[in-house]
Amino acid sequence: MLKTEFRVPDTMKAWVLGDPGQLRLTDKPVPRLEPAEVLVRVDAAAICATDLEVISHGPPALIDGELPFNKNFTPGHEYMGTIVDVGPTVDEFAVGERVAVEIHAGCGRCERCRQGMYTSCLNYGRNYGQYNKGHRANGFTTDGGFAQYAANHVNTLVRVPDGVSDELATLIVTAGTAMYGLDVLGGLVAGESLVVTGAGPIGLMVVAVAKALGASPVILTDIVDERLAVGTQVGADQVINASNEPAVDAVRRATGGRGANRVFECSGAPNAVDDAIKMVKRGGLVCLGAFSQQPALVDVGYIVTNNIYLYGIRGEGQSAVRRAASLLAQKKFDPSPLHTHTFAFDQLPTALRYAREKIDGAIKIVVKPQSMSRQAASEDVSLP
Ligand SMILES: [Zn+2]
Ligand SMILES: [Zn+2]
């Protein structure tokens, strides 16, 4: 086999977080590899709403047990790239392979990690000094993908199927989140009615993956017609604009008055949980996949009276990303309508603005760390 060689520089361009909302493009050393790690040349990194949260407010990022500001920390957690070097003991992957990178490596030694629930690692953020339990979550507790290179544990790597572009490969992790949520909803969703609330990237991906797994019908709710149209493109059987009519009534009508078997809440809207329990059939299952900003008022009596199961998920455990990549390799779903924009690496601030303000129909925006729109000097950028 022809061995591909890459020349790895000593330093790289990377964005680092200063004060809240401030990013700086700077030079950093290319990370050194520990055992079981590979060096990924980051070819594409997608922007997630959680990146906007981290950059503006901090959590859920945690660096040295504290808020991530002014710690030379590089955010970005949805990325893919090419392996350009492998650390000691690595024989699972080889130089030259294209990989998507899962966010959470966990610590590998706590009760939850041992159950495959590494996104709920009990040692979250404990990767420093005397607390070094080895926990890693790219762009949250360790440096992330808004950089030209990243060191990643082999446990977090998933091969990119042939024929999948760099841009679409960044969406494999999002598909993994959809898959993980469908796992907690019972996994075998073939023939089961499913409502997805919120047509953001995760909601749209849930529609696509649930259809690939045979859920039927899949009903999508949102308040933006353009987003609902993308939902139809990725397979939704029915879409409901909740600003035109109460979504609970519309779902009940569409499901013979009894509600759907499963509901996957992806909107984070204040009334979303209460709506979700009223959209689901008695004895049904609800998965909550959105970080909502405020506590919600929920009719707990209704949940108990109707034996409704409520689950919260964080990220994508139990190798859901690998399984999602397999579905993609089998061409069971097509995430391409979700990718709307691509920017050069030095245009990250513009890309973040597009994501925050949903400019020009933005859904998933990708930056390419190996490409610069101009000769990039170090610069400070404040985000609104
Ligand atoms: Zn994300
Ligand atoms: Zn753990």
Could you tell me the CATH number of the domain that includes residue 276?
3.40.50.720
Ligand 1 centre to CA of 177 (Å) is: 9
Ligand 2 centre to CA of 314 (Å) is: 14
Same domain, 279 and 349: no
- Angle at CA 16, nearest 5°, toward 14 and 19? 165
Domain boundary at 312, 343, 369, which?
A: 312
Q: What is the pLDDT of residue 47?
A: 98
Ligand 2 centre to CA of 141 (Å) is: 13
pLDDT at 4 over 70: no
Ligand 2 centre to CA of 145 (Å) is: 22
Least confident of 131-135, 230-234, 263-267, 345-349: 131-135
Please check whether residue 114 lies inside any domain of the structure.
no
Same domain, 248 and 212: yes
Same domain, 166 and 182: no
Same domain, 208 and 165: no
Q: How many domains does the chain have?
A: 2
Ligand 2 centre to CA of 109 (Å) is: 5
Ligand 1 centre to CA of 50 (Å) is: 6
Please check whether residue 127 lies inside any domain of the structure.
no
The CATH number of whichever domain residue 70 belongs to comes to: 3.90.180.10
Which ligand has the minimum distance to the alpha carbon of residue 116? 2
Same domain, 152 and 191: no
Ligand 1 centre to CA of 147 (Å) is: 16
Mean pLDDT for 266-291 is 96
Both tokens assigned to 348: 């990250």
Ligand 2 centre to CA of 138 (Å) is: 15
Q: Percent of the chain having pLDDT more than 90?
A: 93
Residue 72, sorted as left (phi over 0), alpha (psi -120 to 50) or beta, turns out to be left
User: Across the chain, what does the average pLDDT equal?
Assistant: 95
Who contacts 143 (Cβ-Cβ below 8 Å, separation ≥6)? 14, 31, 73, 74, 150
Please check whether residue 85 lies inside any domain of the structure.
yes
Q: Which residue has better confidence, 134 or 89?
A: 89
For strands 309-312 and 280-288, give the pairing: parallel
Q: Which residue has better confidence, 136 or 293?
A: 136
Ligand 2 centre to CA of 103 (Å) is: 14
- Angle at CA 149, nearest 5°, toward 43 and 352? 60
Domain boundary at 280, 312, 344, which?
A: 312
Q: What is the pLDDT of residue 274?
A: 98
Long-range contact pairs involving 242-247 (C-beta distance under 8 Å, separation at least 24): 247/197, 247/221, 247/275, 247/279
Which ligand has the minimum distance to the alpha carbon of residue 139? 1
Ligand 1 centre to CA of 62 (Å) is: 15
Same domain, 206 and 242: yes
Report the 10 Å Cβ neighbour count for 68.
25
Same domain, 26 and 160: yes
Which ligand has the minimum distance to the alpha carbon of residue 135? 2
Which ligand has the minimum distance to the alpha carbon of residue 126? 2
- 271-283: buried (b, 16+ CB within 10 Å) or exposed (e) per residue? ebbbbbbbbbbee
Task: Show the domain range for 290.
Answer: 175-312
Please check whether residue 222 lies inside any domain of the structure.
yes
Helix (H, G, I), strand (E, B) or coil at 295: coil
d(CA 36, CA 56): 33
Ligand 2 centre to CA of 156 (Å) is: 14
Ligand 2 centre to CA of 153 (Å) is: 14
d(CA 104, CA 94): 21
Q: What is the pLDDT of residue 381?
A: 66
Which ligand has the minimum distance to the alpha carbon of residue 127? 2
Q: What is the pLDDT of residue 2?
A: 52
Same domain, 214 and 71: no
Please check whether residue 111 lies inside any domain of the structure.
no
Same domain, 15 and 82: yes
Same domain, 192 and 148: no
| Cβ proximity of 373 and 344 under 8 Å | yes
Same domain, 19 and 160: yes
Q: How confident is the model at residue 382 (pLDDT cuts 50, 70, 90)?
A: low
Helix (H, G, I), strand (E, B) or coil at 191: coil
Amino acid, res. 285: L
pLDDT at 375 over 90: no
Please check whether residue 351 lies inside any domain of the structure.
yes
d(CA 138, CA 74): 9
Neighbours of ion ligand 2 (CB under 5 A): 106-107, 110, 113, 121, 123
Please check whether residue 317 lies inside any domain of the structure.
no
Q: What is the pLDDT of residue 1?
A: 47
Q: What is the largest CA-CA distance in the chain?
A: 65
Spell out the alpha helix ranges (H) of 156-299.
166-169, 172-184, 201-212, 225-233, 247-254, 272-279
| Cβ proximity of 152 and 37 under 8 Å | yes
Q: What is the pLDDT of residue 293?
A: 82
Ligand 1 centre to CA of 55 (Å) is: 13
Q: Percent of the chain having pLDDT more than 70?
A: 96
Who contacts 244 (Cβ-Cβ below 8 Å, separation ≥6)? none
Ligand 2 centre to CA of 286 (Å) is: 26
Mean pLDDT for 209-224 is 98
Same domain, 266 and 150: no
Q: What is the pLDDT of residue 291?
A: 84
- 137-169: buried (b, 16+ CB within 10 Å) or exposed (e) per residue? bbbbbbbbbbbbbbbbbbbbbbbbbeebbbbbb
Ligand 1 centre to CA of 307 (Å) is: 31
Mean pLDDT for 375-384 is 57
Ligand 2 centre to CA of 71 (Å) is: 23
Nearest to residue 147, comparing CAs of 187, 191, 101, 184?
101
pLDDT at 201 over 50: yes
Mean pLDDT for 193-214 is 98
d(CA 181, CA 44): 25
Q: What is the pLDDT of residue 383?
A: 63
